[in-house]
């Protein structure tokens, strides 16, 4: 990797990637850097199919990210697209596009609208009913009564918190788990991170999350001592009593570095909420639709939340998010309090229907459980390598934590090692296996989250490739000439 400065902004470039480099340069001069997080690969992806991306040079990359845990059914599934077009009534349009548009054609096609602000679309009604049915049919889904759509995950979080704040007049103290990630805007940002993050909201109190106790797969198998966590909750109850508003947590800390707790922790939080009669909000925006090996994380963790937040995989790539839960909570918001231009967008609702259809018609969940075991085995093998400190996760969402490493040239920090690992995976093993992963979480954790439909044979092949690539990280870090990236 080299970097180049364009209008005082650095862009990542890779040797031999003429077309990608040109696009990277154009990109950096037309978009601010704040749209991205640092990553040493900065792949330029032209097309994708199933579990693979293709760069503009035509190089094939295994996608170990699913976008950012979005394309659970893989990229561009044919049957899913067909369902989406059918829901939108685009059959005639697709035919016209195929046949070619002539002068005599009508100027417009009659199909589902792409906006019905403040009206109701049948797609919206059907997708609410189907989503609620799906959620209620899983254990822990009994409180799923209404869908409050949102246009992003952050917005779903914001709306759930607005509803909780409005529900009880005196309740203004939001309890959130420390070092979580819920988004970057408004109240979602206020409950992200910890007491030392910028822009704190005085209504938010953080409680500890058992990060040490679930630092690795082995540690997570040990029983969790809840004493410390009970004490923190009791202290907050003693301090705030009837001012308590709600408890909000992710099932596992995703963006915070992949910490998957023992189930008893979430169950403790739920017990506390019941005792104090406050809503228990589960932000499973990155876990929903199968990531943990169950359709929803609440059933996987044995809890029954009052509000569940959904996003990412919900539309398999079409942006759609929602807060789903108790109607009395959402009823606390008046007309217009939760409305905006894009929520309940017909395209998003059609995507939810098409995605639910695919989950209900096939064996995605059963198959991804098998994939989960293969990922666990292959990723745990990485802990044999000096670069890898720990592996943790479940189902098809895992984190590989890197540690300091010596190369011939220098001592490298865990952050440098993790960033080098991203780039080394991008260049591949020299035998045609290259892997797309994102810039590290919490500085040193690389998330492994392929589409749920990745075959176990392909998973094994690429996990072996990853082992080989990471075993040569010291050479990569020292810029050894024998390092052979894959040929394009």
Ligand X SMILES: Cc1ncc(COP(=O)(O)O)c(C=O)c1O
Q: Which helix (H) or strand (E) holds 44?
A: none
Alpha carbon 193 to its chain's center: 17
d(CA 15, CA 481): 14
The answer to whether 181 contacts ligand X (rule: CB under 6 A) is yes
**Is 250 or 304 the residue whose CB approaches ligand X more closely?**
250
Judged by CB under 6 A, the residue of 40, 154, 249, 486 near ligand X is 154
345 near ligand X, rule: CB under 6 A: no
Specify the residue, 121 or 192, whose C-beta has the smaller distance to ligand X: 192
Q: Go through the chain and tell me how many residues it has.
A: 488
C-beta of residue 242 within 8 angstroms of C-beta of residue 275: no
Q: Which residue is nearest to ligand X (CB)?
A: 153
Reference 81, options 56, 58, 50; nearest CA is 50
d(CA 58, CA 444) in angstroms, rounded, equals 29
Q: Residue 436 pairs with which residues in a beta bridge? A: 63
Scanning 13-21, 32-40, 149-157, 426-434 for contacts with ligand X by CB under 6 A, the matching segment is 149-157
Q: Provide the minimum distance between the beta carbon of 44 and ligand X in the complex, in angstroms, as a whole number.
A: 22
Q: At its nearest, how many Å lie between ligand X and the CB of residue 365?
A: 20
Let me know the angle formed at the C-alpha of 242 by 238 and 245, rounded to the nearest 5 degrees.
Answer: 105
Report the candidate in 388, 379, 424 with the shortest Cα–Cα distance to residue 39.
424
| Interface region with ligand X, contact rule CB under 6 A, candidates 37-45, 152-160, 207-215, 421-429 | 152-160
**What is d(CA 347, CA 326) in angstroms, rounded to the nearest whole number?**
25
Assess 311 for contact with ligand X (CB under 6 A): yes
Residues facing 175 on adjacent strands: 205, 247
What is the total count of residues that contact ligand X (CB under 6 A)? Answer: 14
Q: CB of residue 72 vs ligand X: minimum separation in angstroms?
A: 14
Q: How far apart are the first and last CA of the chain?
A: 16
Among 77, 141, 183, 485, indicate the residue that binds ligand X (CB under 6 A): 183
Among 67, 255, 290, 313, binds ligand X (CB under 6 A): 255
Q: CA 91 to CA 413: how far, in whole Å?
A: 55
Shortest Å, Cβ 196 to ligand X: 20
Q: Nearest-CA neighbor of 229 among 217, 213, 242?
A: 213
| Interacting span for ligand X (CB under 6 A) from 21-29, 58-66, 180-188, 457-465 | 180-188
284-303 positions binding ligand X, by CB under 6 A: 285-286
- Does residue 394 touch ligand X according to CB under 6 A? no
360-387: burial string, b at 16+ Cβ within 10 Å, e else: eeeebbebbbebbebbbebbbebbebeb
Closer CB to ligand X, 124 or 250, in the complex: 250
Give, as ranges, the residues between 434 and 463 that touch ligand X (CB under 6 A).
Answer: none
Stretch that binds ligand X, among 108-116, 236-244, 283-291, 362-370 (CB under 6 A): 283-291
Q: How many CB atoms lie within 10 A of CB 299?
A: 17
Which part of the chain contacts ligand X (CB under 6 A), choosing from 91-99, 193-201, 247-255, 435-443? Answer: 247-255
72 binds ligand X (CB under 6 A): no
Q: What residue ranges bind ligand X (CB under 6 A)?
A: 152-154, 157, 181-183, 250, 254-255, 283, 285-286, 311
């Amino acid at each position: 990797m080299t970097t180049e400065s364009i209008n005082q902004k650095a862009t990542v470039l890779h040797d031999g990637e003429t077309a990608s480099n040109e696009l990277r340069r154009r990109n950096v001069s037309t978009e601010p850097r704040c749209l991205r997080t640092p990553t040493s690969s900065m792949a330029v992806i032209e097309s994708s199919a199933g579990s693979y991306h293709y760069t503009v040079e035509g190089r094939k990359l295994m996608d170990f990210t699913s976008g950012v845990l979005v394309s659970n059914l893989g990229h561009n599934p044919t049957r899913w697209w067909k369902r989406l077009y059918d829901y939108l009534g685009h059959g005639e349009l697709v035919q016209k596009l195929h046949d070619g548009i002539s002068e005599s054609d009508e100027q417009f096609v009659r199909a589902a609208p792409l906006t019905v602000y403040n009206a109701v679309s049948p797609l919206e009604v059907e997708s609410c009913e189907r989503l609620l049915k799906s959620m209620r049919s899983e254990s822990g889904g009994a409180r799923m009564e209404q869908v409050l759509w949102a246009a992003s995950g952050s917005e779903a979080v914001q709306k759930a918190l607005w509803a909780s704040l409005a529900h009880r007049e005196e309740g203004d103290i939001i309890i959130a788990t420390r070092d979580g990630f819920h988004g970057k805007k408004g109240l979602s940002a206020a409950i992200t991170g910890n007491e030392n993050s910028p822009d704190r909201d005085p209504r938010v109190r953080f409680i500890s999350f058992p990060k040490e106790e679930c630092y690795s797969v082995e540690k997570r198998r040990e029983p969790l001592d809840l004493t410390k966590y009970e004490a923190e909750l009791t202290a907050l109850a003693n301090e705030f009593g009837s001012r308590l508003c709600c408890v909000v947590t992710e099932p596992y800390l995703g963006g915070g570095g992949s910490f998957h707790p023992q189930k008893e922790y979430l169950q403790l939080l739920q017990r506390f909420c019941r005792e104090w009669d406050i809503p228990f909000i589960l932000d499973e925006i990155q876990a929903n639709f199968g990531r943990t090996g169950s359709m929803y994380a609440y059933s996987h963790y044995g809890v029954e939340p009052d509000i569940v937040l959904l996003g990412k995989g919900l539309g398999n790539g079409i942006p759609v998010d929602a807060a789903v839960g108790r109607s009395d909570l959402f009823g606390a918001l008046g007309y217009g309090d939760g409305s905006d231009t894009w929520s309940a967008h017909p395209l998003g609702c059609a995507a939810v229907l098409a995605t639910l259809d695919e989950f209900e018609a096939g064996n995605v969940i059963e198959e991804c459980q098998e994939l989960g075991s293969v990922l666990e085995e292959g990723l745990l093998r990485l802990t044999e390598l000096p670069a890898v400190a720990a592996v943790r996760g479940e189902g098809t969402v895992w984190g590989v934590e890197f540690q300091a490493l010596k190369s011939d040239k220098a001592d490298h920090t865990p952050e440098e090692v993790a960033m080098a690992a991203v780039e080394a995976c991008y260049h591949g093993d020299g035998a045609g296996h290259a892997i797309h992963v994102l810039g590290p979480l919490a500085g040193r954790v690389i998330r492994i989250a392929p589409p749920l439909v990745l075959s176990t044979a392909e998973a094994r092949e690429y996990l072996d490739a990853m082992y080989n690539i990471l075993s040569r990280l010291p050479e990569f870090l020292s810029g050894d000439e024998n390092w052979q990236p894959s040929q394009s």
